Structure 1
Amino acid sequence: MNEIYRNEKVEMAPLKEGRLSGYTFAVKDVFAVEGEKNSAGNPDWLVTHEANTFTAPVIEHLLLNGATLKGLTHTDELMYSLNGENIHYGTPPNLLHPDHIPGGSSSGSASAAAERDFTLGTDTGGSVRVPSSYCGLYGIRPTHNAISMKGVIPLAPSFDTVGWMSKSSRILKEVGDVLLHDEIIEFTNITIDLQGWNFLQPEDRHYLEAAINKLEVETKEITGPLEEWATLFRTIQGIEIWKVHGEWIRSVKPTFAPSIEKRFQWASTLDAGMYDELKLKQLAIQEYLQKQIGEKGLLVIPTTPSIAPKKKATSEEVEDVRTKTMQLTCIAGLSGFPQVTVPIMRADGLALGLSFIATRGRDRALLHFVDQYFGS
């Protein structure tokens, strides 16, 4: 069993020469490739869905700019996890240490970044940002709706984004220059969010603080009650997830890992009648963060509260990390703002993630900023 690729033989040649000529990329097994079937991380999904009749536009765009597609990578089941472990297909390896989880749900894409120039994933609740942080990669969750989700299996549409990862900040930026078209600006104020940094252990905080000492930053509390924000995010997400996948789950009765099944069961109990009220609360948070960060501002947070947990961590330990992680990832999720994570290596060879969040439509500016100050 190949623990990185669900189908390594999938290959599409470039359609033209372009900026990405010579680069190879792999995609998460939720992107449509004409003639191929997707599993979305679950064998029951694979056998109950037909082969794709078209290729996702985001893939075609990359092919038109010279890149070569090589391989469909594994994902957590229906993208509903942040761990990267899959009971059906195995766990893709963490690039830095085999005893640690890779992070999910774009875990296979994170692992494939070792042998591809860049990889595509999806990010709803952190599924590109978390594996990037755990595996020592650069990764981006772009502005919501900046890149078409056509031909991509949804999870929660008002949060779903197409993201990408790479070992190279330059390549991450070049892919952004191809896929995005927003104006490049200079950021004039950079703020460390006190609340987000409080999740870190002192030693890890020291690593991240040392990494940004080259920047002129201020420190203050910008975000609101993150525990409440994460609950709001999870609830809106859960309602959308059940609306998208509930009928298939009821009719097919697929076999899920216990933790995944528990989440779908919880989603099925949510009151969809609360949805509009919850979305109004989300809108208020968006407006608040837009004002707090500003058009030329950056918010700096840890991508995750720690290094990647070990594979043999207890369910309680894993859930504790997940809860804290969601309080960090929900900031970009609720706001729809772009977030780029930068790898910060510890002395033991494991990685932390340092994240920069800009306001809506500042994606390319963010990518260029990261490449300038944290490039590799």
Structure 2
Amino acid sequence: MIGPFEPEVTAGVVALSAAYAEGSTRPDAVLATYLTRIERMNPAIHAFIDLDIDGARDAARASSYRWASGMALSPLDGCVVGVKSNIAVAGLPWTAGIGAYRDRIADRDAACVRRLRAAGAILLGTLNMEEGALGAVTDNPWFGRTQNPWREGFTAGGSSGGSGAAVAAGLCAAALGTDTMGSVRIPSAYCGVFGIKPRYGAISDEGVTPLAPSLDHVGVHARSAGDCAALLAEIATPDPASPSGPLAALDVTDRATLSDDVRAAFLAVIAVAEAQGLLQGSVPLDIDLGRIRRRGLLISEVEGLAEHADMLEARPDGFSETFAGMLRWGAAQPPEKLAEARAEIASAKAAVEALIGDRVGLLGPTTGGPAFPFGSHIPADQADITCLANMAGLPAVAFPMGLSGDGMPLSAQIIGRDSGAILELAGKLATPLPLSQRERA
């Protein structure tokens, strides 16, 4: 579904900045390439929902002038970026994937989008997502189904499915997403790209329609660790100093269901990490992942209803029965159950912090298996491993670790305290995915 990548698309973010500096290409020409790819591939993949083509062309012309004049604003000047549709982009629909908000037009950019514009990035448009950010499939009843670029008929994950798919398909160089219990890292895993959720609050959530403010993080999708780092450098506050000791493998054997392909690929990543002197030993996980994920889901439902209660009352026809039912179910639970959930999440945070100790982080699988077909059973445990970092409010990065036996991406993740440090390690441990197989998928 993806097709071959042009050199300027392969360049991503960091290498493209170098090409601009040497004058071998221009932002307006690069934007034209991305727009051509979108015209050709987006109807099938359905990642972008709304485009600001005129605004993007204006931004590209201005960026081209700056690079030619030696006045580039940052390494992101001329970088083509997509934005999840729960993040406000001035002049475009700000729907959060919910039909009731279809006519809501953002009157100003979200804080993270403003920082991208200030850095010279080209904001191309908004991307499809799971309704209300509650789910991990991106089969949206109002805005359509986003296909996995590796194989038609398979989910791109969610809730930031459009963001992961757009980056994987080469429809933009990078994308913003949000992550409540894994919603950046799950689509990154299923689509074979890098995805990082930084420390809680590191990227401002001003202008972001929340699901669960106590768990939500704005994050980044890109095709390399360096590209993710380049975006974070412009839109996130730096992390405090953290330990620089080796990684430890997070042993989830008795806590998560892993496919044979995931087990084998993860053992291979461990071997590479050990050979490079980046990992020492493993730590067992003594947390009931299914239970803590369900606690996070309850919090999401309760906090989500608080966000959407007025619109749900005014426009009930703009919410699917499934989404509205989940919000109402959470709100109907007794206060003591909510208090218990918050206490268990606090306990999980302390447990994860203790496991990391003086290490740089914990290495584990991102998901228990690869992407699955639409219409098949949706695994309830997709976010079992990813949710840990949200409970702890710690940075976590997903990165490719090879392909399954039938050619779908597999992913590992590192949970740590310093986004830059774990991105550097992810870049060293990632397995490059064969583009030739992706083109045939």
Task: Report the TM-score when normalising by structure 1.
Answer: 0.90
What is the aligned counterpart of 1:97 among 146, 151, 155? 151
Q: Mind listing any 5+ residue stretches in structure 1 that lack a counterpart?
A: none
**Contact map agreement 2:256 2:385 (CA 8 A) in 1:** no
Distance (whole Å) between structure 2 residues aligned to residue 135 and residue 224 of structure 1: 28
Matching of residue 207 in structure 1 with residue 261 in structure 2: no
Matching of residue 232 in structure 1 with residue 295 in structure 2: yes
Matching of residue 8 in structure 1 with residue 51 in structure 2: yes
Deviation string, structure 1 residues 254-279 (Cα, Å, up to 9, x no partner): 34444334322322322345444432
Deviation string, structure 1 residues 187-218 (Cα, Å, up to 9, x no partner): 42322223477511223311221123111342
SS class of match (1:212): helix
Distance (whole Å) between structure 2 residues aligned to residue 228 and residue 43 of structure 1: 31
Deviating above 6 A after TM superposition, structure 1's stretches of 4 or more consecutive aligned residues are: none
What is the aligned counterpart of 2:408 among 326, 344, 350? 350
What is the aligned counterpart of 1:136 among 192, 216, 227? 192
Distance (whole Å) between structure 1 residues aligned to residue 254 and residue 86 of structure 2: 31
Q: Mind listing any 5+ residue stretches in structure 2 that lack a counterpart?
A: 1-41, 67-71, 275-279, 433-441
Distance (whole Å) between structure 1 residues aligned to residue 393 and residue 286 of structure 2: 14
- Gap change, CA 1:18 and 1:297, over 3 Å in 2: closer
**Contact map agreement 2:195 2:219 (CA 8 A) in 1:** yes
**Post-superposition offset of 1:149:** 0.2
**1:145-294 superposed matches below 5 A:** 145-180=201-236, 181-182=238-239, 183=241, 186-195=244-253, 198-216=256-274, 217-272=280-335, 274-294=337-357
Matching of residue 38 in structure 1 with residue 94 in structure 2: yes
Q: Which residue identity is paired with 2:139?
A: E
The answer to which of 89-98 and 217-226 deviates more is: 217-226
**1:13-162 superposed matches below 5 A:** 13=59, 17-47=73-103, 49=104, 51-113=105-167, 114-162=170-218
**1:334 maps to which residue?**
391
- Gap change, CA 1:184 and 1:281, over 3 Å in 2: closer
SS class of match (2:75): coil
**Contact map agreement 1:33 1:55 (CA 8 A) in 2:** yes
**Post-superposition offset of 1:174:** 1.6
**Contact map agreement 2:299 2:330 (CA 8 A) in 1:** no
**Contact map agreement 1:238 1:270 (CA 8 A) in 2:** no
SS class of match (1:287): helix
Aligned CA-pair RMSD: 2.3
**Post-superposition offset of 1:369:** 1.8
**Post-superposition offset of 1:373:** 3.2
**2:5 maps to which residue?**
none
Distance (whole Å) between structure 1 residues aligned to residue 82 and residue 101 of structure 2: 21
Q: Indicate the percent of aligned positions where both proteins have the same amino acid.
A: 25
Deviation string, structure 1 residues 56-98 (Cα, Å, up to 9, x no partner): 1111212222321111111111111111111222212212111
Larger Rg: 2
Distance (whole Å) between structure 1 residues aligned to residue 164 and residue 261 of structure 2: 25
SS class of match (1:81): coil
The answer to which of 89-98 and 152-161 deviates more is: 89-98
Distance (whole Å) between structure 2 residues aligned to residue 203 and residue 108 of structure 1: 25
Q: Which residue identity is paired with 2:88?
A: A
**Contact map agreement 1:345 1:352 (CA 8 A) in 2:** yes
- Gap change, CA 1:162 and 1:173, over 3 Å in 2: same
Task: Report the TM-score when normalising by structure 2.
Answer: 0.77
**Contact map agreement 2:256 2:289 (CA 8 A) in 1:** no
**Contact map agreement 2:244 2:360 (CA 8 A) in 1:** no
Q: How many residues align?
A: 366
**Contact map agreement 1:95 1:102 (CA 8 A) in 2:** yes
Deviation string, structure 1 residues 221-244 (Cα, Å, up to 9, x no partner): 134121221222122222211222
Q: Which residue identity is paired with 1:152?
A: V
- Gap change, CA 1:325 and 1:223, over 3 Å in 2: farther
Q: Which residue identity is paired with 2:52?
A: K
Q: Which residue identity is paired with 1:108?
A: G
